[in-house]
Structure 1
């Protein structure tokens, strides 16, 4: 068994998926385009300007539209022009060459959307998607399967972006997974025709076996170095640091707004605990107070982070477009595994410098 097959077998065992494949692509949008899942007659519904721009860039404007909010009702409304009824017992109706067949409706959710870090209620979306005959796709790249069990909650396809480095060459892979056709337990167990549809769509394009080429050799060479990035302990460290930092920053007088799904004032706080596991993810978005430049703070933080424990995965910072209620850029933190007290002390110093 090669490393790709071993990783997929481990992933299937851990997340209880039916099957998983690797696609050589730089992002979920690129993977969708490479797979050719959407034809010109199909419709992909997304949420947010960032997602709309990403998917329209690679798939074209005609087949991608945006819902006005992250709710099942808004996605139904956005896809009403292509709504269709699922024919009982005919999941194979999807399995056709792109561009030859009936219209398909796909709903693409980010488990954590940027910059507002909204968390969709995947269970509610799954129920609505079945009623609309839409395939529910979920991108868990920002939180991973450890933090968001999207397949178990009702998703039909799950995408997770992986990055592996070989010397100076970056290998970008996207893992695509599908659930078992049988959903529920006991008397509530039922056949999910859309789950079978998702499997046939991917199996038709990618086949049963994992095809590994030059990426496999690079993966073999670095599997020991990168394995820790996929362990539960590593993910839990990142989630714990994010929770501690968010609680500290939410009370800081120089921070206008702290966006983190685990905070009480987050708009999705009511269902976050049902969707995300082991914490509220590794991401925090910050809106700084008046007179503070996010870029300056980011520079000071990056310099300080580089001097922290070299054995830890360092927190990454990024300036992102502001949310609907603020045009000011937000500072997005993707927490690493540093010590929480070291990070709090670093924030105190950096905020004093830019004040």
Structure 2
């Protein structure tokens, strides 16, 4: 879909862009949703004469094009890229931006999969990294290496400790040494937070999570504003080939259209659950940016629309008690993902963050992470009450 054909969306609200960006009703049939173009190959109008720019579905597919246009629109970018997974997006981005001998800063409580990619895959390639508390601008300033640091990588809120990074502050630090700021916006979603508007250069998503929203598709995304950077990413996306398939792109695009209404309910439920846990005697600490006691609350209030659907807490009685909470939950499903309509519970130390065990990024063993879904909040609270019992 050309930019000219989508000009009517300029200045439109988030919900309108999420529903209409990337695709106009089919001129022949009037179909309001993009078809699933289940094709690898396209007939060319003569040698080198591409019809609509399509030649092979690794390079481009109309269903993926619609999703990528919508992703760019909701993130306030100009170019979106859809991948087979969040880690495929991250790997492609790192290899687009970095070369052996370069350095990047990562969160000291990064998602375990990101840490594994950087520490076990990218490091072998010759890229160096340093963990830093990305919620502390001074710590990041100390970690960057002028002339060597090419990327400052932030999650905000972080996974699973829900630390909040000052995006504008980190952008200033990164740009001062000639580096780019990459923000993993998975936990917040484009509805709650707009990193590009705050100075970030690249936004990363695991679209498996809130964007897709229904635990039925795996995907990833990158969104940028800069045309030269977009060209580099597009080259590597095609050269490396870890693209979203047409059916995955269709499901992800469908999920994006309801993101705004889903996030409002996620936030409503998470706020109620955080309040409940705060007063429970078995809980030693509740970690949720919406609580005024959270050290990043003021920053989150400044750069987020609301505070999200993720809640972490530490169980007073320790590791075994935390494991019992995970095992006894019934409405909360024991599972490693997040951002779906159903509520999930997990023990990060043994599940999503097992890859950081024994490192500086190791998470507390009494920590429980909740992805708060869209169920009746009374049922969710009752389930936690019995699980903590």
The interval holding the TM-score normalised by the smaller chain is 0.7 to 0.9
Describe how 1:125-274 pairs up with structure 2 within 5 A. 125-163=170-208, 172-179=218-225, 195=226, 198-206=229-237, 215-220=245-250, 222=251, 226-227=254-255, 230-274=258-302
Q: Output one character per residue of 1:101-123: Cα deviation in whole Å (capped at 9) or x when no partner.
A: xx551000002212321010101
For 1:304, what is the secondary structure of its paired residue? coil
For 2:154, what is the secondary structure of its paired residue? strand
Q: Output one character per residue of 1:44-99: Cα deviation in whole Å (capped at 9) or x when no partner.
A: 1012154573321221165111125532222222122xx13xxxxxxxxxxxxxxx
2:120 aligns to what? 57
Q: How much does 1:346 deviate?
A: 1.7
Q: Output one character per residue of 1:222-275: Cα deviation in whole Å (capped at 9) or x when no partner.
A: 468x52675210121111111111011111111111000111111111211112
Distance verdict in 2 for CA 1:196–1:7, change over 3 Å: closer
Equivalents in 2 of 1:305, 1:261: separation in Å? 21
Equivalents in 1 of 2:102, 2:363: separation in Å? 34
Q: TM-score if structure 2 supplies the norm length? A: 0.68
Q: Output one character per residue of 1:17-41: Cα deviation in whole Å (capped at 9) or x when no partner.
A: 1111112335267534774432112
Q: How much does 1:145 deviate?
A: 1.0
Question: Is residue 2:147 matched to residue 1:78?
Answer: no
Q: Which runs of 5+ in 2 are unaligned?
A: 2-61, 210-214, 334-339, 354-359
Most deviating of 1-10 and 22-31 = 22-31
Aligned residues: 301
Most deviating of 134-143 and 291-300 = 291-300
Aligned partner of 2:168 among 119, 123, 140: 123
1:288 aligns to what? 315
Q: How much does 1:16 deviate?
A: 2.1
Distance verdict in 2 for CA 1:29–1:48, change over 3 Å: farther
